[in-house]
Amino acid sequence: MSEMIQFSAAAKRYPGGQEALRSVTAGIESGEMVAVTGHSGAGKSTLLKLAAGIERATSGSVVVSGQNLSALGETALAVLRRRIGFVFQDHKLLFDRNAFENVALPLRIAGLSRDETGRRVRAALDKVGLLAREKAMPIALSGGEQQRLCIARAIVNRPAILVADEPTGNLDAASGAGVLDLFKAFHQVGVTVLLSSHDEGGLDRLGCRRIGLVKGALVPPSP
């Protein structure tokens, strides 16, 4: 298998001097599912944002699908982000739009036709079990449903890479398990999945490779 995401001595320092990531070198192969673990502030979210092209590395490089993100201009980077589904920790749902319209947003950006948008949005909602709630406003959905709606928005563009930042962070055990099962299902159909989670039990059940972070640095894998 070829590497879908490659971090080479990738570091990130935010304005103000906070060093979120220190010289991380790691690779994620195409079709692989990898979990990033670590305490709060370990740099998990920053690593995921670098992989998704939401943030740029301060030094080192991040290569996604053969493209060095540091070398891409703003427009090219934005276009690349369309091929990566991102599940945000805080969902980032639009509360003045219903479920259908929230999921349709990436397709509107891509300029798909109304018919194609309708088909793809309903397929995505069906995959996450929300087809019957397509007209519901986000405020009317439970926490688990909101997270699944966020996942539907992330997969509606049929991305090759799915990145999820603490997708089970605010969910009860049953809802969290359901969400992780969704990621497992996407992985099984060939999608490269990179997620962060505190849910050790859930990750054990997924049985995926883990990357550990402590204070922005990689933890060497246990022998």
Tokens coding 67: 């493209």
Tally Cβ neighbours within 10 Å of residue 222.
Answer: 6
Distance CA 138, CA 93 (A): 7
Phi/psi at 165 (5° precision): -100, 110
Report whether 74 contacts 81 (CB < 8 A): no
Residue 196 corresponds to which amino acid?
S
Rule CB under 8 A: say whether 222 interacts with another protein: no
Site for another protein contains 160 (CB under 8 A): no
Contact flag: residue 82 with another protein (CB under 8 A): yes
- Pairwise CA distance, residues 59 & 212, whole Å: 20
Nearer to another protein, 72 or 219 (CB): 72
Query: According to the binding rule CB under 8 A, does residue 86 interact with another protein?
Result: yes
Which member of 22, 81, 133, 187 binds another protein (CB under 8 A)? 81
Nearest by Cα to 81 from 62, 100, 98: 62
Residue 78 Cβ, how far from another protein at the closest point, in Å? 4
Least Å distance, CB 193 to another protein, is 17
Whether the Cβ atoms of residue 97 and residue 79 lie closer than 8 Å to each other? no
The owner of tokens 């929230």 is: 102
Binding residues for another protein, rule CB under 8 A, total 22
Residue numbers 15-74 binding another protein by CB under 8 A: 54, 74
Name the minimum Å distance from CB 143 to another protein: 19
Question: Is 153 one of the binding residues for another protein (CB under 8 A)?
Answer: yes
* Shortest Å distance, C-beta 33 to another protein: 21
When asked if residue 100 is in the footprint of another protein (CB under 8 A), the reply is no
Per DSSP, what are the bridge partners of residue 29? 3
Question: Which of 26, 110, 131, 217 lies at the binding interface for another protein (CB under 8 A)?
Answer: 110
Residue number with CB closer to another protein (15 or 190): 15
Check residue 88 for interaction with another protein (CB under 8 A): yes
Helices 99-110 and 143-155, axial angle in degrees (round to 10)? 20
Q: In whole angstroms, how close is the CB of 107 to another protein at the nearest point? A: 10
Our finding on whether 106 is near another protein (CB under 8 A) is: yes
- What tokens were used for 35? 């979990």
Burial 126-139 (b: 16+ CB within 10 A, else e): ebbebbebbeebbe
Sites of contact with another protein (CB under 8 A): 54, 74-75, 78-82, 86, 88, 92, 94, 105-106, 108-113, 153, 157
